[in-house]
Structure 1
Amino acid sequence: MMAEILRGDSVSQAHEVVVVGSVNADLVIGVRRRPAPGETVLGSDLATYPGGKGANQAVAAARLGGRVGILGRVGDDGHGALLRAALAGAGVDLSHLLVTEGPSGVALITVDPGGDNSIIVSPGANARLVPADVDRARPMLAAASVVSFQLEIPIETVEAAARAAADAGARVVLNLSPPAPLPDGLLALCDPLVVNEHEAAFLLGHRGGPADLAKELLGRGPRSVLITLGADGALVADAAGVTAVSSPKVEAVDTTGAGDAFTAALCLRLARGDDLADAARYAARVGAAAVRRPGAQSSYPDADEELPA
C-alpha cells in the first residue's frame, strides 16, 4: 500500500519557479577511467549527495534567491530523509513533496579525472509520481511564473503538469533529459525546449551543426529552443533567429548537475522577465560556477557568490 505524506508548510505566496521532477540520492565514485564491458576498475570512496534533476533545479534556483516549489516523490527510506532535508535547507517549498513507501530514486555516478560523468538512474519513488498528484498541486502550478520539467518521472505526469501550467499562464521549460520521444502536444508547450547536442540528435534522428539542429527543432513545434554546448556555451533559437551565448572558461572538477544549475538559473531569470538570450547568458555563468566544485547540489552558487565572467 502506498503512503502519501505532505511535508513542509502550505504555499504562502506565488512561486517564481516550480519544478516538477525527480528527487534522487546521487551515489558518486571517482574513477581513473570507465570500465569496458566485463571489466572491473577500482574507484574512490563512495560519496552520497542529494540529487535528481528536479531537486537539483529546485535547490539551484532557491540558492540563487528564487521563490521555489517542487512537486515530486521520495521514498520512506534514509535517502528520502536526506533528500527532504537538503531541499528544506535550501528554502524550497515542500508542500507537494510526497513520501512513498519503498525506496527513493538513486543515481549511480562515475566521474573521471576530467570531470566528465556517466550516470545510471534507478527511479524508485519518482516512477510513482502520477497525474493525480498534479491535480492536487494545481494551485501551486497556477501561481508559478515558470514551471520546469525533466524526464526522470513518467511522461504522462510531465504532460499533465505541463498542460496544467500552460493553461494557467505559466511558462513551460522542459529539459529533454534523459532523452525520450515527446508527444507533439507537449513539444508545442515548451518555451524553451532545453537539450544538449546528443538530446537534439536523438529527437531529430540525426546529427548536425548546433545552429542547424536548433532551427530544425524549432520547426518541430516548440515556442523556443535552447541547445547547451558545455564549455562552449549555448545556442538559443526563437522566432527572432538563432543567438550564440558564450560560457566563461573555468577548470572543471565535476560536471555532475551542472546542466541542472544552468536550467534553474535560466528559469529564474525568465520568471523575472529576462528575454531568452539574456537568461541564457546568466545561466551559462551559473553553470560554469557549478563545475568548479564536486557534487551536484553541493556545487551550486549562492545569490551573493561572484560568478565567473
Structure 2
Amino acid sequence: MMNDINNNKWTRLKVAGLGELLWDIFPHGKRLGGAPTNFACHCQQLGAQAYPISSVGMDELGVEATAELNELGVDVSYVQVNKEFPTGRVLVDLDETGKPEYDILENMAWDHLQYTDALDSLARSIDAVCFGVLAQRSEKTRNTIQDFLLQTPSTALKILDVNLRAPYFTKELVESSLKIANVVKLSDEELPVLAEYFSLSGEVDQQLKSLRKMFALKHVAYTRGADGSVLVTQDGALETRGVKVTPVDSVGAGDSFTAAMCIGLLRGMPLAEVNKFANRVAAFVCSNAGAAPVLPASLKVI
C-alpha cells in the first residue's frame, strides 16, 4: 500500500539542515546551495516541516537566498542575518560528466552561526537533523552545531553527511562528528579517507561495517553515484543498484539521497525500500539542473 508522503494521516516531521547556506556560482549563473540547505529543501518537498539553520549576510545575495527559500515553502525562521560578513559563495566548475569542482570562499556569514535560545528550543523538539564537516571549519559555527546536536532528543536522527571538502577537514574533526552522529552518509570518494583515518580494512562492505561498529552508528549509507548505494545496519549490508538516467549535473544529488533516506527512516519504511527510494530521488535530481528541482508526484509516495 503506497501512501502520499504529504497525506494528513502522517504526523508532520520536524527536520533541520544545520550548517552552510550559500550560492553556488556557475559559469552560466548562480544557484542556491549548501548541503544542509539542500537537505532541508528536499525534506520539505517530501512532507516534513524543514528548517535550514544557517546565516546570510545583510546583502543582496542574502535577501535573494531567503526569498528563494520562501518560494520553496521552506521556513527561514532560523536563518540568521549577519551584519559583518557576506552571504556565502562557492565557485563551481563542472567537468564533462557533470561532476563539480568547488572553490569555497572563506569567512562567510555561515562561518559565524550563533547559538540562540530559539535554536536551543528547536533542537529539543526535532525529529532529525543533518550536519556536515564543512560547516565546522570555523570554531564559532562548529560550537553552535555541536551545542545543537547535544540538545536533540535521544530518539532523533543525527545524520552526518561527511561531505569532505579540502582543505576544510581533519581526522579530529571527522572523528568528533562521527562520535556525535547516529547515522552517517558518505560517498565512494570519502570512504578511503575514513579508512585511512580509522584503519578500516577489507572489502568495502567490511570497512563500512567496521565504521558502524566503531562509532555505534544505527546506519551507514554509502553512495556510489550511478552504481547505487549500500546501506549498512546492525543486521548487515543492503545493496541497491543505481537508477539509469542521463546526468545533467550531480550538484545536490547526494543531499537529496540523504533527505530521502531520512524521511524513509523516520516513516519506518523497510530498510531495503529506504535504499531504493533514496536512489530514485537522487537519480532524478542528478538528471535535472540545480540542487533542488521540483520532485514529481511519483517520488512523493512511499
1:24 to 22, 25, 30: 22
RMSD: 2.3
User: Corresponding residue for 1:89?
Assistant: 71
Q: 1:89, 1:165 → 2: CA distance? A: 28
| TM-score normalized by the length of structure 1 | 0.81
What does residue range 136-215 of structure 1 map to in structure 2 within 5 Å?
136-154=118-136, 155-167=142-154, 169-178=155-164, 180=169, 181=171, 182=173, 184=175, 186-205=177-196, 209-215=203-209
Whether the 8 Å contact between 2:133 and 2:177 is mirrored in structure 1 is no
CA distance change for structure 1 residues 255 and 184 in 2, over 3 Å: closer, same or farther? closer
User: Corresponding residue for 2:269?
Assistant: 274
Aligned length: 274
Q: 1:150, 1:300 → 2: CA distance? A: 24
1:248 aligns with 2:231: no
Q: 1:279, 1:158 → 2: CA distance? A: 27
Q: 1:295, 1:197 → 2: CA distance? A: 22
Whether the 8 Å contact between 1:20 and 1:54 is mirrored in structure 2 is yes
Q: 1:201, 1:113 → 2: CA distance? A: 24
What does residue range 1-309 of structure 1 map to in structure 2 within 5 Å?
15-29=13-27, 46-101=28-83, 102-123=85-106, 124-130=108-114, 132-133=115-116, 135-154=117-136, 155-167=142-154, 169-178=155-164, 180=169, 181=171, 182=173, 184=175, 186-205=177-196, 209-223=203-217, 224-297=219-292, 299-302=293-296, 304-305=297-298
Q: 3-state SS of the aligned residue for 1:267?
A: helix
CA distance change for structure 1 residues 241 and 23 in 2, over 3 Å: closer, same or farther? same
User: Corresponding residue for 1:10?
Assistant: none
Q: 1:146, 1:26 → 2: CA distance? A: 25
Whether the 8 Å contact between 2:19 and 2:53 is mirrored in structure 1 is yes
CA distance change for structure 1 residues 20 and 276 in 2, over 3 Å: closer, same or farther? farther
The alpha-carbon deviation at position 283 of structure 1 amounts to 0.9
Whether the 8 Å contact between 1:193 and 1:222 is mirrored in structure 2 is no
Whether the 8 Å contact between 2:21 and 2:33 is mirrored in structure 1 is yes
The alpha-carbon deviation at position 65 of structure 1 amounts to 2.5
Whether the 8 Å contact between 2:39 and 2:256 is mirrored in structure 1 is yes
The alpha-carbon deviation at position 290 of structure 1 amounts to 0.4
| TM-score normalized by the length of structure 2 | 0.83
Of stretches 75-84 and 266-275 in structure 1, the one that deviates more from structure 2 is 266-275
CA distance change for structure 1 residues 222 and 24 in 2, over 3 Å: closer, same or farther? farther
Q: 1:237, 1:196 → 2: CA distance? A: 13
Q: 3-state SS of the aligned residue for 1:93?
A: coil
Structure 2: any 5+ residue segments left out of the alignment?
1-10, 137-141
Write out per-residue CA displacement over residues 73-131 of structure 1, whole angstroms, 9 at most, x where no aligned residue: 1111111112111211122221211011221111111112321111122251111014x
Write out per-residue CA displacement over residues 36-72 of structure 1, whole angstroms, 9 at most, x where no aligned residue: xxxxxxxxxx311111111111111112232211211
Q: 3-state SS of the aligned residue for 2:183?
A: strand
Of stretches 252-261 and 121-130 in structure 1, the one that deviates more from structure 2 is 121-130
One-letter amino acid of the structure 2 residue matched with residue 268 of structure 1: I
Structure 1: any 5+ residue segments left out of the alignment?
1-12, 30-45
Q: 1:61, 1:165 → 2: CA distance? A: 18
